[in-house]
Amino acid sequence: MLIEIPNVLTKQQIQQCRQLMCEAEWVDGNVTSGTLSALAKNNMQLPEGSPAARQIGDVIQDALGLNALFISAALPLKVFPPLFNRYETGQAFDTHVDNAIRQLRGTNFRIRSDLSATLFFSEPDEYEGGVLTIEDVFGSQEVKLAAGSMVLYPSSSLHHVTPVVSGTRISSFFWMQSMVRDDAHRTLLFQLDKSIQKLTIDRGGKDFEVVSLTGIYHNLLRMWADS
């Protein structure tokens, strides 16, 4: 399941975060790469755990905690602290798959990467190329979203970023461990949740069918979720 989530951050938040990025030091993006990814990756990155990365990461995580679409789609159990990359002209990231387990350096915090996310900080007209292309059972999808918007997709997906032809592409990337491990189960729960929300608006929360479907949703979640 691939889901675009618009307006995770406001324009003001984007502007403030980009100012912090502008003042920060960037390093080679391979500081967080595995062996195979290092052969494919060519970009720059904010150092993991740097003051700018932590501050902007907190803004993102606070926003995600208030985003109903994100919560419904991801059913997050743990979120890896957001990382940040920058692609200049000629830089790209060839086809790869994200590591199954991510551990925060110097800590015992680790997650199983069920879902990957890219949150855009550059507007589409600020750069040419730099298209995130995701391949999975839903086919090949090209993603280039407005600043502040995010794409959420299974971490098992093959994906790549095409070479930037001009301009600068800045984004955040991170992973989630969902309460529901299986992508097909998450998809069913997400579709059911959307239907319940629509029926609640159309019929009201006390409608018998709405209450019945809500019970089914929670019983399925109870069956499939880890906590």
Same-domain check for residues 63 and 100: yes
- Within its chain, how far is the Cα of 108 from the centroid? 22
Cα end-to-end span (Å), the chain: 22
Same-domain check for residues 160 and 192: no
Same-domain check for residues 63 and 92: yes
- 22: domain CATH number is 2.60.120.620
Same-domain check for residues 103 and 208: no
pLDDT in tens, 36-78: 555 678 999 999 989 999 999 999 999 999 999 999 999 999 9
**Encoded amino acid at 3, one letter:** I
- Which residue, chain included where needed, has tokens 């479907």? 213
CA distances from 204 to 68, 69, 98 (A): 19, 20, 42
Same-domain check for residues 145 and 205: no
DSSP designation for 28? E
Single out the residue in 178, 194, 210 at which a domain terminates.
178
Per DSSP, what are the bridge partners of residue 151? 4, 118
Give the predicted TM-score (pTM) of the model: 0.92
Single out the residue in 178, 197, 213 at which a domain terminates.
178
Judge whether residue 203 has pLDDT over 90. Answer: no
Judge whether residue 32 has pLDDT over 70. Answer: no
Residue range of the domain that includes 60: 3-178
Same-domain check for residues 217 and 168: no
Same-domain check for residues 167 and 136: yes
Identify the pLDDT of residue 129: 97
Radius of gyration over every alpha carbon of the chain, rounded to an integer in angstroms: 18
Which pair of tokens denotes residue 146? 């407005």
Same-domain check for residues 218 and 172: no
Q: Is residue 47 within 8 Å of residue 35, measured between CB atoms? A: no
Give the DSSP H or E segment for 165: strand 164-167
Q: Is residue 78 within 8 Å of residue 177, measured between CB atoms? A: yes
Judge whether residue 217 has pLDDT over 90. Answer: yes
What's the number of domains the chain is made of?
A: 2
Identify the pLDDT of residue 98: 93
Higher-confidence residue: 119 or 37? 119
Same-domain check for residues 123 and 187: no
Residue 116: name the closest of 85, 82, 140 by CA: 82
Judge whether residue 145 has pLDDT over 80. Answer: yes
Same-domain check for residues 218 and 160: no
Single out the residue in 143, 159, 178 at which a domain terminates.
178
Q: Is residue 87 within 8 Å of residue 130, measured between CB atoms? A: yes
Higher-confidence residue: 18 or 37? 18
Same-domain check for residues 67 and 15: yes
Same-domain check for residues 126 and 165: yes
pLDDT in tens, 1-12: 899 999 999 999
CA distances from 17 to 44, 79, 124, 216 (A): 17, 20, 17, 41
CA dihedral 191, 187, 71, 178 (to 10 degrees): 160
- 199: domain CATH number is 4.10.860
